[in-house]
A and B are shown apart, each in its own frame.
Chain A
Amino acid sequence: MKFIKKTIPLLIVFVVGVLSLISYYVPHKTSVNFIELMSKWENIVSAFAFLLGLISLFFSHYHKISRKVDGWGYSIFVFIGFFAIIIPAILNHGKSMTAAGPTSLGWAYSSIYTALSGTMFAVLAFYIVSTAYRSFRIKSKQAFVLFVAAFVLILGKVPLGQIIWTSVLGWTHVTVSTVIDWIMTVPAVAGKRGIMIGIAIGAIVTSFKIIFGIERQYLGKD
């Protein structure tokens, strides 16, 4: 049983991993055919992954409704939202637009999904402002450097800020856009590149660990 439960899955990760890696460097027809097949399969396997989220969401809200826990009435709206999209999708075979204009699915997309999804993230704008007011403290030299970079970016990205910069610092003949360009192409590149190289080394090591079965937390418990 251990062979079926553990050994074969570890063999799959090893064989698929090593052959995929090799395929990157070997342009031979067999290698290309192999990676083509694996890519098609990977695409199909991934198409089921979201069901994990969908089923657990439905389970949790179904339980809330069936057990009538506090606020169970709101859980009904999860299903209403789901069917508000699914029913028009079935009626229109998944088409949100036709030559005649948007279908009922397109209507649900712009009136329900776009409004909800867009606003959920737009709310964060308010919190970033109050956080800037309450928590942005210039207490050290490093915080001061962060502040200067942020200040120049916030000011220089909008026309009114550019006008203010020119009227105060116009005599230097250095525009705020030039300063932003320098920040983004010199010190920010150095900072990000350091992070990038660090993450790359970490990602490569982790990938090898997965292929060789050293990292197997994702397999779950026995």
Chain B
Amino acid sequence: MSETWMIAGAWLSAGLTIAIFSFLYKDNPFFKIAEHLYLGAGMGWLFQVSVFSVWGPKIWTPVSHGDWLVIIPSLMGISLLTQFIPKLSWISRYGFTFIMGYGSGLAIPATLSTDFMSQILGTVQPLSLMASMSPFAIFNALLVAFGVICVLFYFFFSVEHKGHFQKVSNIGIYFLMVYFGAAFGNTVMARFSLLYGRFDSLYASSSARNFYATQIILAGMVIYFVLHSFFGKKGPAEGEAAH
């Protein structure tokens, strides 16, 4: 890639980024164009990866070497597409039932072992090691066990919330709230990180080497909004979406 292409890339990247951010001010044609490009480009990437990584080496190459067996799953895969033809859509069941059967068959033992048995063991096991634990560790182990029981009460005895049952399941809600609170706190960080990523890219595009792509595109966008507010008609698609 030549230097010119890299600069063009910085302009394109900054332009598309600002076009999407412009929605925060108001819905506008630039955002709509970027949004539609995103759908197309996303599908394009998925399509090309599937063609070059799976269809080619996993179907075309074996068939061209005489391994005809791969035609069976390929036909089952293609059968999924009969979904679009109402009269023939039953054919897609051959593909779907295979996917569901395989997935369910393997999910049962894996879920049972990983998310059920191991979790019960993980709750109970620390209690058997109390002799070698510090008082605080014992307290924590008991709290985890107590919390798990309360949360399960909340889920599984939701119909009979009376008396002691209600108290226990109410305590379960507090444990869930701590979990959701932690998740919310971390969500803030996650979302800001993504914003940082795009701003960092805009900052890179703003350099003299990239001929101030960010500043010029941003200025162009501001001029568009100013002119639009003076001369533009307010169409139904261009309401203030940011409110």
Contacts and interface: CB of A to CB of B under 8 A. Distances in A.
Q: A and B, one complex?
A: yes
Interface of A: 5-6, 8-10, 12-21, 23-25, 38-57, 59, 61, 70-71, 74-86, 89-90, 93-94, 101-126, 128, 132, 142-143, 145-154, 157-158, 182-201, 203-204, 206-208, 210-211, 218-220, 222
B104 A77 contact: no
Contact of A54 (B12, B47, B180): B47
Interface string B12-24: 1110110011011
A103 B94 CA distance: 40
A194 B148 contact: yes
A197 B177 contact: no
A125 B151 contact: no
B208 to A, nearest CB: 19
A125 to B, nearest CB: 4
Interface stretch (B110-118, B127-135, B159-167, B219-227): B110-118
Given A122-B194, A122-B195, A197-B116, A150 B181 contact: yes
Secondary structure call for the B interface: helix
B38 to A, nearest CB: 4
Given A17-B105, A82-B44, A147 B181 contact: yes
Contact of A191 (B13, B58, B176, B237): B176
Contacts of A106: 1
Given A9-B94, A82-B44, A124 B151 contact: no
B53 to A, nearest CB: 7
Contact of A94 (B16, B52, B146, B148): B52
A204 to B, nearest CB: 6
Given A107-B1, A204-B111, A210-B104, A198 B155 contact: yes
Contacts of B49: 94
Interface of B: 1, 5, 8-10, 12-14, 16-17, 20-21, 23-24, 29, 32-55, 58-59, 70, 72-74, 76-78, 80-81, 83-84, 89-90, 92-112, 115-116, 119-120, 122-123, 140, 143-148, 150-152, 154-156, 172-182, 184-189, 191-192, 194-195, 197-198, 201, 237
A187 B140 CA distance: 9
A123 B13 CA distance: 16
Contacts of A113: 41-42, 45
Contacts of B120: 197
B177 A146 contact: yes
B116 A201 contact: yes
B109 A84 contact: no
A71 B32 contact: yes
Contacts of A38: 102
A108 to B, nearest CB: 8
Nearest to B145: A190
Contacts of A19: 105
Contact of B1 (A51, A56, A102, A126): A102
B109 A25 contact: yes
3 residue pairs, one from A and one from B, having the closest CB atoms: A190-B147, A194-B151, A81-B40
B172 A194 contact: yes
A147 to B, nearest CB: 7
